[in-house]
A = this chain, B = another copy of it.
Amino acid sequence: MIKITGNAFDPWKELATFQCEMNRDGEFGACANFIGTMRDINEGDSVNGMFLEHYPGMTEKHLAKIVDEAKAKWDVLETLVIHRVGKLLPHDPIVLVAVWSAHRKDAFEASRFIMEDLKSKAPFWKKESIGATEKQAGKTRWVAKNTGGY
């Protein structure tokens, strides 16, 4: 399942609910998942908020393509990808990628693959609001580029 959401989400509740509803108990022996969370500091500056823009249509299509590629490469039973858009506050979860499989190698590698492809190619853009509080500065900046993850 792929979800783009403008609302704050609780990764652990999403995982619990999805795993229950996917109804594959006994089949999966492994779940590897990753949660990316907004920090309150970036490149040495305090960050008090963030705006996450995306390309409606292309973002969903691209995420579906990443997941299909992962399923072609590894023995994957189920995947869950959630990405936040819109206005975020520090500590908010930004992204969740989870993969269920029979054995751990597939879950580990597929989850990391999806996450790295998402970071390097899925059309999302972050604009940070700099300063310890929103009132203090009002300065914003687009994040220039994601760092590599391998």
Chain A positions within 8 Å of B, measured between CB atoms, are: 10, 12-13, 15-16, 25-41, 90-91, 102-105, 107-108, 112, 115, 119, 147-150
Contact = CB atoms under 8 A, between A and B. Distances in A.
A39 B30 CA distance: 9
6 contacts: A12-B12, A25-B40, A30-B34, A31-B34, A33-B33, A108-B149
A32 B112 CA distance: 9
Closest 3 CB pairs of A and B: A26-B40, A12-B12, A12-B16
Given A32-B34, A37-B29, A38-B29, A108 B104 contact: no
Contact of A28 (B37, B115, B119, B148): B37
B30 A36 contact: yes
Contacts of A119: 104
B35 A31 contact: yes
Contact of A33 (B13, B32, B38): B32
A149 B31 contact: no
